[in-house]
Amino acid sequence: MKKAIFPGSFDPLTSGHYDIITRGVKLFDEVIVAIGINSAKKYMFSLEERKKFIEEAFADEPKIKVVSYEGLTVDFCKEIGVDFILRGLRNPADFEFEKAIAHTNRDLAPIETVFLLTSAQTSYISSSIVREVIRNNGDYTKLVPKSVRMK
């Protein structure tokens, strides 16, 4: 069974993440959306809220699981028996950043990173922009799946 992990903060889940997960499911038997816990980072949404947004967005898709993890992504992959990391690429800055992470991960473990280019319609969206719009009471509903539109 081909399983991939889609790691990130998902603070909150955006339409860009949704697009990559939906397309990733066509390539893998299971996509595990893994919320990385970084104790040094301050989040807008609690872990429970972030998890709920993702679970509700994919409630009808049994091939998508949601988990949280601490530590290195490759260690978590080994722990749960996953051979692929799925990532989205929006722009050249993402590419440079992701390239360094993917090379490092390959040094650490025989795990392949699979990149999907973002859809043109969602390539400008980031969780940090969504948080900024929410903080300033702007209309963020176009930037996120329905499950996130509840705050």
Residue of 5, 17, 28, 145 interacting with ligand ADP (CB under 6 A): 17
Given a contact cutoff of 8 angstroms between Cβ atoms, the answer to whether 128 and 33 are in contact is no
Nearest to 110 by CA among 74, 142, 138, 68: 74
Nearest approach, Cβ of residue 119 and ligand ADP (Å): 7
Least gap, CB of 125 to ligand ADP (angstroms): 4
90 is catalytic: yes
Q: Are 118 and 16 in contact (CB under 8 A)?
A: yes
Active site residue 17: yes
Q: How far is the CB of 58 from ligand ADP (least distance, A)?
A: 15
DSSP one-letter code for 83: -
For residues 129 and 85, give the distance between their C-alpha atoms in angstroms, rounded to a whole number.
Answer: 24
Candidates 20, 74, 130, 148: give the one binding ligand ADP (CB under 6 A). 20
Q: Report the C-alpha gap between 20 and 36 in whole angstroms.
A: 17
Figure out which of the listed residues 4, 5, 14, 73 binds ligand ADP, where binding follows CB under 6 A: 14
Catalytic residues: 17, 41, 90, 127
